Amino acid sequence: MSSDQPRGGLKVLVAEDDPPSCVLLKRMLGKFGFDVVVARDGVEAVEKFSIEKPELVLMDVMMPKMDGYEAARSIKSIAPDEFVPLIFLTAIQDEDALAKCLEVGGDAFLTKPYTRTILGSKIDAMLRIRDLYASVRQQNIAITRLQQQFLAEQRLAEKVFSSVVRGGNRNDGIRSLLSPSAIFNGDLFVTATRATGELHFLVADFSGHGLSAAIAAMPASDIFYSMTSGGYGIADIAETINRKLKSILPADMFCAACIGAVDTIERKLAVWNGGMPPVLIVDSQNRIRARAPSRHMALGVLNAERFDRALQFFALAGDDRIFAYTDGLVDAPIATGGRFSQAGFEACFDAPVAPGRQFDWIIDSLREISGEGFNDDLTLVEIDTQATNVAARGREAAPSRAASNWETALLIEVPALRTYDPVPYLLGLLLEIQGLQPQKETLLTILSELFKHALDDRLLGLTGGSGARSVEPEHYNSERATRLAALASGFVRFSIRHRALTHGGDLTIQVESGGADGMDNAPPPDDRFNPSTMSRGLGMLRTLCASARFMGGANRVEVVYRWGNPR
């Protein structure tokens, strides 16, 4: 940049008490194209700086009232965040005096006499620094704003995610460690109670980190809650979450998950584990009694056709507890190098610890061996299967809709019968048409038991009448799957009829099964429900319904469920 180049519009404050010097300076600056403001002493310089807001200051050192040093100090303190270059012009040659020019806040000095070229170059150099300062400052402001925005969004997201992943009905007997940092890194733990009395839980770990990982937790937990309350089982829930995640997540993101159902009445545990460390079942002596290892790929990887719904089943004893956790626990780095590891985690169960203290013991042990590096980006859940005993059945409350007369029937044959569970659909009808929400738990139990009788007992011969083919509980699920796959023909027919009564209604549900080879339809001994000859579930229908009976043989059952206070 040459010193003759015009620098139009830039406002310069000149503080100079000597009139000839002032005139000379004004002329030089005028040629550069500057807009010049003059102050005759230090006090006036400070005043004009505030009023005129110049972009450059040229300051004489020796001035009346207030010298240049003091004026420079004041000027620099007026707008500390802005950079307005201040150049001292002085005839002084003394080193200390020159050093003081910079000490008091001046950015440069120019000793008199100077030429126009030198003055111009000095000013140019100062303006370059000013421009650099301005652009750095702009970037700083932008970065600070972005950072604040990010932090605000993160706080908001944390709040939303926390309420999502900590929501649901927490039961007694469940303990969990799920830190905000783990949530934000894609860990998820939710529970919900199915109307049949099963406690559903989902412990999940999304791949990736931060917001992108956490965001996918929302559809997963939504599906979990709505399907559990809709009466669906965990295989259906796993399949639906998988389909949803497969459709929304990019190919390299997925969700390791274990979904469990604790049946506190039948004392069973069902687990679907895809990509998570083994779920542990621990007995009252703190011994690891069983493990439910990963049998599947994580959710969101496989397309619907390849998805595998298979569950693992375990019988539960009295006070068994279940431990589920993310790999953040076993991969936690420890002070001596290496990781906590599966073996290190399982060794915690060998310690002489009271069962109720086991959870704390694990966390304390990990905290101790992690030392300084303890990082709570992990999730650990303990479920006490005795304390979680849930759901009083058969609640009664006022219906939400006036009773009407209506009826419907549903016939399902093989092969649909092998995979389709009609119970949620039928329950949905009862809730929608008749508004029987308050009776939902009871109705779900009735429909489930009727379907189980028709399919498991009659068509598959797993329990009930044909004793020769009955199986032991521990082989039940694998044998059920085998026989279901081999079922070549057969049907189940539901007929539902509702009759309005004053202050309530009668719901008659008939279920009939048939069509399978080698099926027997011997009527039970006295054609009535006899607990000693019936499966436990079917026997329970007698207590839930106004009437329950066989219709000409064990293959057709009719129950009448009466709701409200009919007259």
Partner 1 sequence: MGVEASLSSDGRTVRIAPVGRFDFNSHREFRDAYSKHPAGLSYVVDLRRTQYMDSSALGMLLLLREHAGGDAARVVIENAQAEIKSILDVANYHKLFDVR
Give the footprint of partner 1 on this chain (CB under 8 A): 205, 207-209, 251-254, 256, 274-277, 293-298, 301-302, 306, 327
CB of 472 to partner 1, least distance (A): 29
φ, ψ for residue 456, nearest 5 deg: -65, -45
CA dihedral 167, 171, 177, 179 (to 10 degrees): 10
Q: Are strands 547-550 and 379-384 parallel, antiparallel or unpaired?
A: unpaired
**Taking a C-beta distance cutoff of 8 angstroms, is the pair 260, 269 a contact?**
yes
**Taking a C-beta distance cutoff of 8 angstroms, is the pair 452, 511 a contact?**
no
* Positive or negative torsion for Cα 478, 482, 485, 488: negative
Cβ neighbour number for residue 537 with a 10 Å cutoff: 20
CB of 307 to partner 1, least distance (A): 11
CB of 419 to partner 1, least distance (A): 20
Tell me if residue 556 falls in helix, strand or coil: strand
CB of 292 to partner 1, least distance (A): 12
CB of 112 to partner 1, least distance (A): 59
**Structure letter (DSSP) for residue 197:** S
Pick from 264, 378, 262: nearest CA to 322: 262
Element (H, E) at 50: helix 42-52
The residue (of 302 and 544) whose beta carbon lies closer to partner 1 is 302
Helix/strand number for the chain, H first, E second: 17, 20
Tokens of 502: 């004053």
Tell me if residue 441 falls in helix, strand or coil: helix
CB of 252 to partner 1, least distance (A): 3
Region of 300 on the Ramachandran plot (φ > 0 left; ψ -120 to 50 alpha; else beta) = left
**Taking a C-beta distance cutoff of 8 angstroms, is the pair 249, 297 a contact?**
no
**Taking a C-beta distance cutoff of 8 angstroms, is the pair 234, 358 a contact?**
no
CB of 257 to partner 1, least distance (A): 12
CB of 382 to partner 1, least distance (A): 21
Length of the chain: 567
The residue (of 293 and 428) whose beta carbon lies closer to partner 1 is 293
Q: Which amino acid is at 251?
A: A
Distance CA 465, CA 255 (A): 44
Tell me if residue 560 falls in helix, strand or coil: strand
CB of 31 to partner 1, least distance (A): 55
E strand map for 114-236: 174-178, 187-193, 198-206
The residue (of 276 and 516) whose beta carbon lies closer to partner 1 is 276
The residue (of 295 and 480) whose beta carbon lies closer to partner 1 is 295
CB of 297 to partner 1, least distance (A): 5
The residue (of 279 and 460) whose beta carbon lies closer to partner 1 is 279
The residue (of 279 and 516) whose beta carbon lies closer to partner 1 is 279
The residue (of 246 and 469) whose beta carbon lies closer to partner 1 is 246
Q: Which amino acid is at 343?
A: A
Pick from 399, 406, 394: nearest CA to 502: 399
CB of 183 to partner 1, least distance (A): 16
Distance CA 241, CA 446 (A): 27
